[in-house]
Amino acid sequence: MANNNKILHIVGARPNFIKAAPLIKALKNQPNPCEQLLIHTGQHFDSNMSGIFFNELNLPMPDINLEVSGGNGLQQLSEMLIRIEKPITEFKPDSIIVYGDTNSTLAGALAGSKLSIPVAHVEAGLRSRDYTMPEEINRIITDNISSYLFTPSEDANSNLTDENIKKDHIYFVGNIMIDTLISSMKKIDQSLILQNLNLQSQGSEKIIPYNILTLHRPSNVDDDESLATLLGAVSNLPPLNPIIFPVHPRAEGRIRSITKNINSNNMICIQPLGYIDFLCLLKNANAVITDSGGIQEETTYLKTTCITLRSTTERPITVSKGTNTLINPNEPGLTELIRDAIDAAHSKDSVIPDLWDGKTSQRIVDILLK
């Protein structure tokens, strides 16, 4: 294991930023802080997908931006690997820390492995068993070439041991995304997004019931006919509450065109939101309908009903203990399935999983610097 006097963080997408922020802060606040370098691959480049997160999370601006964006997954990955070698060899880190399951995660892990630098994977061990998901491949490869595997839940530990990964490389530390959520709660409660979207009158505590929809996975948004069916099913949910839909940049034009043609008067398409405003919406929603991974965890902590439009999840603890329900978006009668799932979830006795307590980053620091 490394001495970890010099640590390099690699991020590229908003889930990475949420996970990196508390760990960078915790390392900085040590009595003898190590030297840290933050590399942004550029994978998310839109201001609402990237820049605003650095401001809201008090995350230091990247020391280096590789400016890799656009192209397909393989093109992104290869360009990241080409551009990432120089800053790594110049900084000479004792460890490289990568987060989650993005292309930036895999690029950082591969670079560290090839350069014989120990890699620490934050959010290791998650498995969906859906090998059509690029994220699943990223997770498996990253875990198998990492020296420190920091897991968010005990089922993740089991996944890693089943893959014959050495037990002394696996550390159950809890969910680092919840560190960020807990530390941001005061700002979340002060957000004005509900008033800005006319869901709450100024000075009033009453909130108009609303649902949230988020979609970004290719399986849900790349086929116009399937997407129109899905949007129509969600927009018809009784009692026709407003549906707040932050539209991912990759699908904005197509989605706006489709919603105009399916008479979805209750669907409110908005630009992607910053972390604080979006978490305020999650906290106060009647239900969240999504295909995201991290949202399953955030809604579980917030005790907000979550319907995940996927047949599998890499976060099964959000189903077994939390507020999440899986629904295959290709099932017939989707509106009724979602409605029934929301009704059932509202009476479900959910619990917050172990070590989702806001102290994960400090546990990681203790292991890295011991």
Active site residues: 216
Q: Which amino acid is at 225?
A: E
DSSP 8-state assignment for residue 263: T
For residues 65 and 42, is the Cβ–Cβ distance under 8 A?
Answer: yes
Q: Which residues contact 23 (CB under 8 A, 6 or more apart)?
A: 9, 97, 122, 176, 361, 364, 365
Between vectors from CA 54 to CA 298 and to CA 102, what angle results, nearest 5°?
60
d(CA 23, CA 15) in angstroms, rounded, equals: 14
d(CA 100, CA 111) in angstroms, rounded, equals: 16
d(CA 162, CA 312) in angstroms, rounded, equals: 19
DSSP 8-state assignment for residue 176: H
Closest alpha carbon to 330 in 220, 234, 254, 255: 220
DSSP3 helix / strand / coil % (the chain, rounded to 5): 45, 15, 40
